[in-house]
Amino acid sequence: MDIIPPIYRLILDPYIAICAGALVVANVNLVFLEPTIATYMKTSMGAEEWQIGIVWLPAFFPHVLGVFVTVKLMRAFPKHHCLITAVGILIEGGSCLIIPFCENFVALIFPLMIDCFGIALVDTAIMPTLAYLVDVRHVSVYGSVYAIADISYLLAYGFGPVIGDWIYNESSFLTLNIVIFVVSLLYAPVLALLRNIYVHENFDEEGEDGTLGDGETGSGCSAAEVKPVVHDEHDQAGERICHPGRSSSDLQQRQ
């Protein structure tokens, strides 16, 4: 029986840590902008209360569009989730360079829409990647890894408003957006480390029972010849080994 790894072992997995970091970086711009943009609109644009209240509303539609586009891209390029995530982070960072130069309410809406489109790319691409990493590197139990994703959101929303407000008060709104851009620009290349995690065949090429067309799994063994193995309690990341020529009943007797 597979041993479910504790959450700290998942956090120590470098690939999962990179994905969690991407979620933090993707939401940094939101948590920096949300508590400061209202003050900026009042002092720099003389915006009215209703304008401040609905400035984020149009961004909902590109966010939904971003989810749809990401799903299509992931189906077309199933082994390039990291590239989609990196593009989303760069889109977010780039939009933040436009925001400080907007002089009125209408102009401000467009970079915020671009920003939310980028966030949708990141969030939609990263969550399946976390699930895939658990499948191939640990045990296929997803509660812990999705808890790590929630922790990433909590870290961003817990500390982001405090840091963003401090930067805004000590420097300027422009400096705040430059910080967001620099963080995004520096983190995007880190996602290149995820480019080699997809070592198995695409799921579209497999049958409904998880085997390829010839009744074999991606490793060249039949489904009955592959079993999960946990070496000991200290090595909880199960691996799959192949016993050619042995039936499933033989494997069950050895277990």
- C-alpha neighbours within 13 Å on the C-beta side of residue 110: 8
pLDDT at 95 over 90: yes
Q: What is the pLDDT of residue 1?
A: 53
Q: Helix, strand or coil for residue 206?
A: coil
Q: What is the pLDDT of residue 135?
A: 83
Q: Are 27 and 126 in contact (CB under 8 A)?
A: no
- Could you give the domains of the chain? 7-194 (1.20.1250.20), 210-254 (no CATH)
Q: What is the pLDDT of residue 189?
A: 94
Phi/psi at 142 (5° precision): -100, -10
Task: Output the average pLDDT for the chain.
Answer: 80
Give tens-digit pLDDT for 56-90.
Answer: 999 999 999 999 999 999 999 988 889 999 999 99
Mean pLDDT of 157-184: 92
Mean pLDDT of 181-203: 81
Q: Are 41 and 51 in contact (CB under 8 A)?
A: yes
For residues 24 and 191, give the distance between their C-alpha atoms in angstroms, rounded to a whole number. 13
